[in-house]
Each structure stands twice: as C-alpha cells, then as structure tokens.
Amino acid sequence: MIKKHFSLGTIILAAGASVRLGSPKQLARLEGETLLNRTIELASQLPESQTVVVLGAHQELIRPSIRYQQLTFIDNPAWVQGMGSSIVHGAAYYYEHYPDTEYLLFLLCDQIYVSVELLNEMRDTAIRTNAPVIACSYANSLGVPAMFHRSLFRDLLKLPYAAGAKKLIMQYLNDCVAVPFPQGKIDIDTTEEALRRGVELFKNKAEK
C-alpha cells in the first residue's frame, strides 16, 4: 500500500569550485538553461518535497543566476574540504528544522541525464521498501542521486568532509536498494565532456 503522506528533503550539492572544468559547472548551460537551474526545476517537480541548495565557491556569480530565489540557500564555508562538507551542511539543516523528514535526496547539477522519471522511481522505491538507502547503480557501482532514511541522519552529520555519499552507501550496502541509472556515470567534469554533450561553459564577462 502506498503511503498517503511522504516527506522528502532534497539537497542540491552545488558548492564545488569546478577546478577540473575551469569554470563554474553550476553556470554551464544545456539547451539554454544553467545546469543548476535545470536541477532545481527537476527537484521542484517531486511531490511533497522541499528543496535546499548548498552553495560555496563562486557564490557571487551563482546566486544572481538562480531563477528560484524563494528557495533556502545554505552557505558552506568549508566547501574546499570536499563534498562531504556540503552533505553535512545540508543534512544539518533538515536535522535542525525538519527532523521528521522521512528521506533526504542528494543531487548534483552535472549529472545531466537525471530525469523526473528517475527521481520519482527512487521516491516510489523508498515508499515501497522503506529501505535505509536508495542509490543509483551505474558503472558497476552505486552513487548519487541517493536517498537516505531519517534513521541515518546522524550518520550523515558525522560524514568526513573529504568523503562523499558513496562512503555511507557502502557502509549500509546490505540495506541499500539500487535503482538502475546507466547514464549516471556521465557528468560534466572536463571541457571535452562538455563539448561532447552539448554543454556550453560559463564565460565570465569580467575576465579579459
């Protein structure tokens, strides 16, 4: 039986400096829209979900570009220490303000093949199984997008800053339900990959 009510907290991890790419991937564009705005739009289509965006590097460029200013933005001053710092900051927000949230969903903005259909499949899987972890399977591994049950919130808060979501996924591997997402292995980390996928990189007009 499907629950009538299901609360989901979506956390978009967008604090990185995009060093390998050479410009903020949050501001790269696909089909005329920034990757961050595309991800926010996807998240907004999930029912009974509240979205927060964790920012760090390049905030002065990224914040004005976001079309959804009514969202909650979380500043991560420790972004340089790794993705785990953004996971901790995002989880801490829900732990403090919405501790009854059933699951937290973590998204990146450069996995351009994430779809509403995929996210709804993950959501439905969580409702059906109540598993501690719902993670996407690709490239013979598990990773984000990933969902964590509220029973693991304290574990999220203790995640090392240099680690990623995969550390916790592997810790609870026997309790994880996988959702196939072969295209999850594709992300925009290099200029070559951006060109191959039709992604237009951000160019700062202030730079000569």
The series of mean pLDDT values per 10 residues for the chain, 208 residues long, is: 72 97 97 98 94 98 94 97 98 96 98 98 97 98 98 98 97 98 97 97 71
150 lies in a domain? yes
SS3 17: coil
207 lies in a domain? no
16 lies in a domain? yes
2 lies in a domain? no
* Dist. CA 119–CA 116, nearest whole Å: 5
Residue 87 belongs to what domain range?
Answer: 8-196
The pTM (predicted TM-score) of the whole model is 0.95
3 lies in a domain? no
Q: Which residue bears the tokens 């993705």?
A: 83
52 lies in a domain? yes
Q: What is the pLDDT of residue 66?
A: 97
Element (H, E) at 192: helix 191-196
Q: Domain tally for the chain? A: 1
To 10 degrees, the CA torsion angle through 2, 155, 106, 100? 40
Q: Which of 110, 111, 106 is nearest to 93 (CA)?
A: 106
Q: What is the pLDDT of residue 7?
A: 93
Q: What is the pLDDT of residue 40?
A: 98
Q: What is the pLDDT of residue 205?
A: 63
Return the half-sphere exposure (C-beta side, CA atoms, 13 A cut-off) of residue 31.
4
74 lies in a domain? yes
Sequence-distant (≥ 6) Cβ neighbours of residue 151 within 8 angstroms: 132
DSSP character string of 154-182: HHHHT--TT--HHHHHHHTGGGEEEEE-G
Report the CATH number at residue 154: 3.90.550.10
